């Protein structure tokens, strides 16, 4: 466990660094401002506030990860006809590399299994190496590419379409 030096009276005491507790809960309308802010700070071409609002209205599984009473990440999952689609998964830039993305992904996978989904899909930019590494770690594999799927600074960027077979109870 990482340790942080505590200085006092000419001596050093090593104290373990503790991560703040986090919870994952359903997203609600009062979260939308923080979710939209994280989205804008994370992407050059972010989803609008209205898209997030529409996801809530449509009944998608919308989750937020709360850290220190603030939204630190969110995930949106669509479920239909025995399949699920991860539409968005994002962690606040100030909270990355702390395992929160994996924790949120695990929650989305749990929600999909609870809905008896047999396969889950997502699109990801091939240039997003961190996300791709997480998805590979969790057993996703590429099944296709969507040409010119994402807007980019210059032109468009393809999307890698990833999938994972799910077994209920795994």
Residue 5 is assigned to a structural domain of this protein: no
How far apart CA 122 and CA 164 sit, in angstroms, is: 9
Handedness of CA 141, 143, 148, 151 (dihedral sign): negative
For residue 151, is it within any domain? yes
Task: Give the count of domains, the chain.
Answer: 1
pLDDT at 1: 47
Domain that holds residue 66: 20-165
**14 domain-assigned:** no
The CATH number that applies at residue 48 is: 3.40.630.30
Q: Is the pLDDT of residue 61 over 70?
A: yes
Residue 123 lies in a domain: yes
Q: Is residue 12 included in any domain, yes or no?
A: no
Show the tokens assigned to 101: 């993305």
pLDDT tens-digit map of 83-101:
999 999 999 999 999 999 9
Contacting residues for 52 by C-beta, under 8 A, at least 6 apart: 27, 32, 35, 36, 39, 62, 76
What pLDDT shows up at residue 49?
96
In tens, the pLDDT along 139-151 reads: 999 999 999 889 8
Q: How far apart are CA 155 and CA 152, in angstroms?
A: 6
């Amino acid at each position: 466990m990482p340790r942080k030096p505590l200085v006092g009276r000419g001596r050093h005491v090593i104290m373990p660094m503790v991560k703040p507790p986090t919870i994952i809960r359903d997203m609600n309308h009062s979260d939308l401002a923080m979710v939209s802010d994280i989205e804008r700070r994370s992407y050059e071409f972010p989803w609008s506030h209205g898209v997030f609002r529409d996801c809530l209205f449509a009944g998608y599984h919308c989750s937020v990860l709360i850290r220190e009473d603030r939204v630190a990440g969110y995930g949106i999952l669509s479920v239909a006809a025995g399949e699920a689609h991860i539409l968005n998964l994002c962690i606040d830039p100030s909270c990355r590399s702390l395992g929160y993305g994996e924790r949120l992904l695990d929650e989305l996978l749990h929600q999909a299994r609870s809905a008896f989904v047999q396969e889950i899909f997502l699109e990801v930019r091939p240039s997003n190496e961190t996300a791709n590494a997480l998805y590979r770690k969790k057993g996703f594999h590429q099944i296709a590419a969507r040409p010119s799927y994402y807007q980019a600074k210059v032109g468009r960027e393809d999307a890698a379409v990833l999938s994972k077979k799910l077994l209920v109870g795994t």
